[in-house]
Amino acid sequence: MGVQAVGIQQIRDQILDAQLTREISGTSLWQSQQYNLAKAQIDLGIQVDRASDSTAIGDASQTTTGVGSALNDFFNSFQELSANPTDAGAKQVLLEQAGDLVSQFNVTDGRLASLQTDITSQVTSDVNTVNGSCSRLPI
């Protein structure tokens, strides 16, 4: 006189499950890379301009910080010196710009090394988490 539930059965397509797992993994990979590359761009002082074109990178000559700006200033100093090679002021400006460029390279190197350390620590932590989860699974 009624219904008796004997069990629950889940009907799923194994191929679709495998594809979904791959896509979720791929999405996580790309999100992680995007996050870390954005941090590297900040460290380099380069901004991605997505206002007009999703694939365009902002003009390095328009930046006011970072390696791109220091390189631009350095080469502009060379151009000014080439216009008047005997000008002591232009030579001094070139030397100052060269010093600024070297300083910017050193700062950027430190920032990127720190970013690499952060990424390595995060990967190590994630691997330890996965290994801990896998060790609790029945064999």
Q: Are 119 and 36 in contact (CB under 8 A)?
A: yes
Per-domain boundaries in the chain = 14-135
Q: Residue 132 and residue 124: Cα distance in Å, rounded?
A: 12
Parts of the chain with a pLDDT under 70: 1, 47-64
Q: Residue 70 and residue 24: Cα distance in Å, rounded?
A: 41
Q: What is the pTM of this model?
A: 0.66
